[in-house]
Amino acid sequence: MPAPAALPIFEIRDAVVSCLHDPKVPNMLIKAPTGSGKSTQVPQFVLDAGILKDGQRCIVLQPRRIAARMLAQRVAKERGAKLGGEVGYQVRFDNVTSRDTRLIYVTEGVMLRLLMEDPELAKVGCIVIDEFHERHLDGDLVLAWAIALQRARRPDLKIIVMSATLTPGPLTEFMEPVELLESQGRTFPVQVRYQTPNRNARTNEIEPVWEQAARACEALAGELGSSGDILVFMPGAFEIRKTMMTLQGRSFAKGRRIVALHGELSPQDQDAAVTPGEQPKIIVSTNVAETSLTIEGVRAVVDAGLARIASYDPRRGINTLTIQKISRASAEQRAGRAGRLGPGIAVRLWAEREHIHRAESEAPEIQRLELGEALLALHVASDKAKLNIQWFERPAEAALGRAEGLLQDLGAIAQGKLTSIGMKMSAFPTHPRFARMLMAASENGCVREAALCAAMAQGRDILMVGKNNASHKNEDFWEPGDLTEFQALIRAFIRAEAMNFDPQACIPLNVHAMACREAARSYDQFLRLSQRAGLVINDEVASAESLAKTLLAAFSDHLGVETSSGSRIYRVAGGYSGNLAKDAHIKPPRLLVASEITEVQGKALTVQLNLVTKVEEEWLRELFPDDFNVGKRAQYDAVNRRVMNLEEVRFRSLVLSSREKGEPDHNTAATLLADEVIAGRLTLTLWNERVEQWITRVNCLAKWMPDLEIPPITEEDRRIIIEQVCHGATAYRQLKDKDVFPALHQWLSHAQRDLLESYAPERLNLKNGKSARIVYDEKQPPSVSVVLQQMYDVNENPKVASGRVTVTVHLLSPAQRPIQTTGDIGRFWKESYPAVRTQLRGRYPRHEWR
């Protein structure tokens, strides 16, 4: 069956072929609507252009397994060849290729494996990245790798990026030299409608999404009659099953074929879904039908507006699939599926006013996912190929740092270099954490248990919160003496398995049957991976200790050290304080690892530790001998008000134990004591008003007479002076009554101190041979307070700073009460004094009143 030459992509075939032959333009960016023929035809253009050297292949990267398989099948059929011959595909657990295969459709995970095995891409002549707009992490990584390789030493490598929707600007720049090729294709207008869910009047419950979809289908079936297919988008297999069951019960659906389309179906069922038949169809599909697969004959689309999207789960430090609202761009693509044959209709199962609040498009995975697995792949490939990788969009430094830190803690890299453990880990197509776990399990003889733990750690919680005892969910499965909470989970899983994961039987046990069933599936996958990697799978039930050691290897970055015995409070990495979860049955051990860490809302740097496993320091030493260090650190002891010198045993940055040893270093002790003094927790008794005045005098003089070049004393300088005072002391009692002036005086040279005494003197000499203290202030003029009689014969205010600054005089009565403040005493005598005298003479008759 030859390709339908009428496909729009043939408009650009000549351009593609001439690019393929042009050594100056190694890259292409192809933009054409869904159904134009990108995925099935462009790889054939490559194949037929004769540019692949002997033994070289064209690899087409697909985001979805189902698309990889179906495209390969379609292309093989068009070429009249057997699948797995010239054209093949490879997805996880399914490899349909042979030595003759020259065109191979692969999924992203497989592509990473190929990259790690053959970092120079020696067997690849052309690499096609399809659906690039979805911006999967691996797609970004492969593009970055291929471009770097091409620039370094593979100028002959052809790179083609394809998408139905894409803003070419930054991408063409990144892929330079590149040819942008566009084909418009044919599309018809699609009328978009919005249908909001009903609410059950009695129960007030919202209509389930499958019933909403059935309602929309019913209306559409009436409009379309028997002339067109309806494509329904649902997020996953579960919702698809529910939708099909609902449709099958409705009379309007009689005479229509109802088919499912998603990655977990058998190949036969997948094929059946896209094969045209006699009857009109309702196809219920995941977002494989959004752009990856074109389904002929669709006139109307019903869109639930949801998809299973990978996102980062900070609780577990891994990426998981969660059901999320799709973006407006995705909704646009989905609606477009109805406009291939003629004008179409799209019904969105949400409100129009909600639509504008949806994201414009999905954020690239590289900006939001955990990068551990991708980074490990990159390390492996870089280790062999030594390439300078530039990202199309660089991930956030924090995310990169976190991933590097994790790989280091897992032992995959050391000093930025891949280790032999890391190399082995990379052979597992799973998150590096689980790879490490299975490897450790193999050594400890507990691969079976570890595979189950990995499955349960990765999936949903298999225990439900009981109605009455909300905080004790694993009570029934817990046994005294357990080392890890996973033991309870394993028991719960085994019970559920024995009951065939029957929900009715599981509910009374508070066990989530569906979650167990899902866990059983990933458990199998982990076992298969282990087998392929040559790990020994244990027949016997493993000991709790071997499982606990294994969990330690996988979660050593989540180590907690109890702050004090029985406190249930732990120090964890990153300066966090961790509380042992309330429902943890384990007797609080000194050391533990947590498989889940939840940030406590509203409390900075506080986390809750869930799914914990008791560990021994001895195991840590066995597993990570190089991660221990002994350090000395001075610390202020608030109880005894002194600085102690501690010798600490640390695991990475975490202090495991400490004891007092030796004398603290004097500089550090001074700094720590000064901190306490500045915070006001310790008082220097001799740091009094006179000291403050001395500082103010220095600062005033520095301001009044800059020519003297007296250095002012800032807040920061006070700190230095206080540290000076503290120097030599390690305890408050040595400090309490220490004289501060020696430290203070050091601030000025001898000559400067003399200048201070003459230009900003502490006291003012009065006519009668007595003296008065001058009060200095940085915000107002200096002042003296003097009994009026002592100022007789003085007609001018005293001055400081070589006559530049007038001293304000506060005149006092003989009983030291304030009478008047003046900056011009001559005027006071003339203007105010006569009245003052009259008034005061009566009150103080025995004093002199001139």
- With beta carbons less than 8 A apart as the criterion, state whether 304 and 234 touch: yes
Q: How far is the CB of 123 from ligand ADP (least distance, A)?
A: 25
Closest approach of ligand ADP to the CB of residue 511, in Å? 42
Bridge partners of 28? 160, 179
Q: What DSSP character marks residue 464?
A: P
Single residue of 37, 43, 125, 280 touching ligand ADP by CB under 6 A: 37
| Residue among 224 and 272 whose Cβ is closer to ligand ADP | 272
Q: Of the two residues 1 and 630, which places its CB atom closer to ligand ADP in the complex?
A: 1
Stretch that binds ligand ADP, among 30-38, 573-581, 713-721, 739-747 (CB under 6 A): 30-38
Q: What is the C-alpha separation between 845 and 713, in angstroms, rounded?
A: 48
Considering only residues 21-80, where is the footprint of Mg ion by CB under 5 A? Answer: 38-39
**Does residue 774 belong to the site contacting ligand ADP (CB under 6 A)?**
no
Would you say 283 or 441 has its CB closer to Mg ion?
Answer: 283
- Does the N-terminal peptide bond of residue 23 adopt cis geometry, omega within 30 degrees of 0? no
3-state SS record for 663-685: CCCHHHHHHHHHHHHHCCCCCCC
Q: How many residues does the chain have?
A: 850
Residues ≥6 apart with Cβ < 8 Å to 397: none
> Which single residue brings its beta carbon nearest to Mg ion?
39
**249-288 binders of ligand ADP (CB under 6 A):** 274
| 3-state secondary structure (DSSP) of residue 5 | coil
Q: Which is nearer to ligand ADP, 70 or 516 (CB)?
A: 70
- Give the footprint of ligand ADP on residues 571-590 (CB under 6 A): none
Is 39 a binding residue for ligand ADP by CB under 6 A? The answer is yes
Q: How far is residue 374's CA from residue 138's CA, in Å, rounded to a whole number?
A: 7
Q: On the CB side of 75, how many CA atoms lie within 13 Å of its CA?
A: 31
**Shortest distance, position 71 Cβ to ligand ADP, whole Å:** 6
What is the size of the binding site for ligand ADP (CB under 6 A)? 15
Q: What is the CA radius of gyration of the chain?
A: 40
Asked whether the beta carbons of 186 and 34 are under 8 A apart, the reply is no
Residue from 31, 38, 102, 308 that binds ligand ADP (CB under 6 A)?
A: 38
> Is residue 36 involved in binding ligand ADP (CB under 6 A)?
yes
Between CA 442 and CA 256 the distance in angstroms is 53
Q: How far is the CB of 275 from ligand ADP (least distance, A)?
A: 7
Least separation in angstroms between residue 274's CB and ligand ADP is 5
Give the interface segment with ligand ADP, choosing from 33-41, 689-697, 710-718, 839-847 (CB under 6 A): 33-41
Residue range at the interface with ligand ADP (CB under 6 A); choices 32-40, 99-107, 118-126, 348-356: 32-40
Structure tokens given for 596:
């889940």
Phi, psi of 500 (to 5 degrees): 55, 30
**In this complex, which beta carbon is closest to ligand ADP, that of residue 78 or of residue 461?**
78
| Token pair recorded at residue 226 | 């028997």
Which of these, 521, 522, 70, lies nearest to 267 by C-alpha position?
70
Which residue, 185 or 395, has its beta carbon nearer to Mg ion? Answer: 185
Q: How far is CA 669 from CA 263, 676, 679, in A?
A: 65, 11, 15
Which residues, listed in sequence order, are joined to residue 635 by a DSSP beta bridge? 644
Only segment of 31-39, 132-140, 516-524, 704-712 that touches ligand ADP (CB under 6 A): 31-39
Question: Which entry of ligand ADP, Mg ion, none binds 70, CB below 5 to 8 A by partner kind?
Answer: ligand ADP
Q: Is 32 in the site for ligand ADP (CB under 6 A)?
A: yes
Edge-first strand listing for the sheet containing 344-348: 190-194, 344-348, 298-303, 229-233, 281-285, 257-261
- Cβ proximity to ligand ADP: between 275 and 471 the closer is 275
CB of 616 to Mg ion, least distance (A): 54
Binding-site partner at residue 444 among ligand ADP, Mg ion, none, CB < 5 to 8 Å by type: none
For the bound state, the minimum distance from the C-beta of residue 343 to Mg ion, rounded and expressed in Å, comes to: 23
Q: How many helices (H) and strands (E) does the chain have?
A: 28, 33
Cβ 94 to Mg ion, closest distance in Å?
20
**Other CB atoms within 10 Å distance of the CB of residue 503:** 14
3-state secondary structure of 527: helix
One-letter identity of residue 142:
V
**CA 681, CA 639: separation in Å to the nearest integer?**
12
Given the complex with ligand ADP, which of 69 and 614 has the nearer CB atom?
69
Looking only at residues 40 through 99 of this chain, which bind ligand ADP when binding is defined by CB under 6 A?
Answer: 40-41, 70, 74
Beta carbons within 8 Å of 427's beta carbon, 6+ residues apart: 435, 533
Closest separation in Å from C-beta 164 to ligand ADP: 6
| Lookup result for tokens 């990856």 | 292
If one asks whether residue 433 binds ligand ADP (CB under 6 A), the answer comes out as no
| 183 makes contact with ligand ADP (CB under 6 A) | no
Give the phi and the psi of residue 787 in degrees, each rounded to 5: -65, 135
Q: Which of Mg ion, ligand ADP, none sits in contact with 32, Cβ below 5 to 8 A by type?
A: ligand ADP
CA distance 702 to 713: 9
Q: How many residues bind Mg ion (CB under 5 A)?
A: 2
37 versus 305: smaller Cβ distance to ligand ADP: 37
Nearer to Mg ion (CB atom), residue 41 or residue 419: 41
Q: For residue 670, state whether it binds ligand ADP (rule: CB under 6 A).
A: no
Both tokens assigned to 234: 């649902």
Q: Which is nearer to ligand ADP, 7 or 735 (CB)?
A: 7
Residue closer to ligand ADP (CB basis): 35 or 119: 35
- Asked whether the beta carbons of 292 and 61 are under 8 A apart, the reply is no
- Residue 35 touches which member of Mg ion, ligand ADP, none, C-beta under 5-8 Å by kind: ligand ADP
Choices 29-37, 388-396, 538-546, 811-819; region in contact with ligand ADP by CB under 6 A: 29-37
Check residue 510 for interaction with ligand ADP (CB under 6 A): no
The C-alpha angle with vertex 504 and arms to 519 and 286, in degrees rounded to 5, equals: 50
Is 645 one of the binding residues for ligand ADP (CB under 6 A)?
no
Smallest gap from residue 164 Cβ to Mg ion (A): 7
**String marking each residue 293-332 x if it binds ligand ADP according to CB under 6 A:** -x-x------------------------------------
Judged by beta carbon distances under 5 to 8 A according to partner kind, the member of ligand ADP, Mg ion, none in contact with residue 663 is none
Cβ burial, residue 54 (10 Å; 0-12/13-18/19+):
exposed
Residue window 775-804: x/- pattern of binding to ligand ADP, with contact defined by CB under 6 A: ------------------------------
Hunting for tokens 């042009």 — which residue is that? Answer: 22
DSSP 539-590: SSPPPHHHHHHHHHHHHGGGEEEESSTT--EEEEGGGEEEEEPTT--S---S
Whether residue 138 contacts residue 108, with contact meaning beta carbons closer than 8 Å, is answered with yes
Binding site for Mg ion (CB under 5 A): 38-39
Binding site for ligand ADP (CB under 6 A): 7, 32, 34-41, 70, 74, 274, 294, 296
